[in-house]
Amino acid sequence: GENVEQHPSTLSVQEGDSAVIKCTYSDSASNYFPWYKQELGKRPQLIIDIRSNVGEKKDQRIAVTLNKTAKHFSLHITETQPEDSAVYFCAATFHNSNYQLIWGAGTKLIIKP
Amino acid sequence: DVKVTQSSRYLVKRTGEKVFLECVQDMDHENMFWYRQDPGLGLRLIYFSYDVKMKEKGDIPEGYSVSREKKERFSLILESASTNQTSMYLCASRLSGQGVHQPQHFGDGTRLSIL
């Protein structure tokens, strides 16, 4: 079946360095790709999303890139700070469904002081 | 700001009990979702509802049912709770979007333990 693979499962970076999380999707019909951040004990919250007609989107220190040919998209966080420590989830739409998302397994990002 | 409220943060039930998890949203969203979250497995969709009285099975509907009698409320029912249903349950809602995919807004989750 369709799936989204997310790597790495755990990422540890020095404060101030950049972090990159990558997701690969299998459904070529996927057209919407959100990223959610879940801090410990809290709800997942949307931090950035991208649609298939766009190759890159940026919002301050975070950016997402999409390569439709290779069917992968990545989250980039620059100048990491302690508050960036969380679990990050990527997702992709299921076929052309207006409802369903397929989720990656999550990446635990640890920012070392 | 969107508010999605789940009735309980923590719940402990016994095997075989019928369990109800409630979710309410205050933004008149058409679509609502129930997920379970387990370590290393991400979020798995149990059921979703695209409008009142409408429901669709997700990836793992076995052992669960849902009810959407009012637009703001989406209930998840464990018909006969089993220990393998011990998990974190997340509710989400979103606007229908009219063909443009809209983001989902999540509740705080219910950590359910079945003994």
- Contact flag A100-B48 (C-beta cutoff 8 Å): yes
Taking contacts as CB-CB distances below 8 angstroms, the residues of chain B near A99 are 31, 48, 50, 56
Interface test with A, best of B23, B30, B54, B101 (most A CBs within 10 A): B101
What residues contact residue B97 under an 8 Å CB cut-off, 6+ apart? Answer: A98
DSSP tag of B84 = G
Q: Is the pLDDT of residue A31 over 90?
A: no
Distance between CA A107 and CA A8 in Å, rounded? 6
Rounded average pLDDT per 10-residue block, chain B, 115 residues = 89 97 94 93 92 91 97 97 97 82 91 97
Chain B within 8 Å of A9 (Cβ-Cβ)? yes
Predicted pLDDT at A98: 61
Distance between start and end Cα atoms, chain B: 37
pLDDT of the residue at B45: 93
Among A residues 25-84, those touching chain B with beta carbons less than 8 Å apart: 31-32, 34, 36, 42-46, 49, 51
* Residue that is written with structure tokens 């766009």 in the block: A54
* Residues of A in Cβ contact (< 8 Å) with B10: none
Concatenated DSSP letters for B9-78?
Answer: SEEEE-TT--EEEEEEESS--SEEEEEEEETTTEEEEEEEESSTT--EE-S--TTEEEEEEETTEEEEEE
User: How close is the nearest chain B Cα to the Cα of A102, in Å?
Assistant: 8
> Which pLDDT belongs to residue B82?
97
Token pair for residue A85?
């420590």
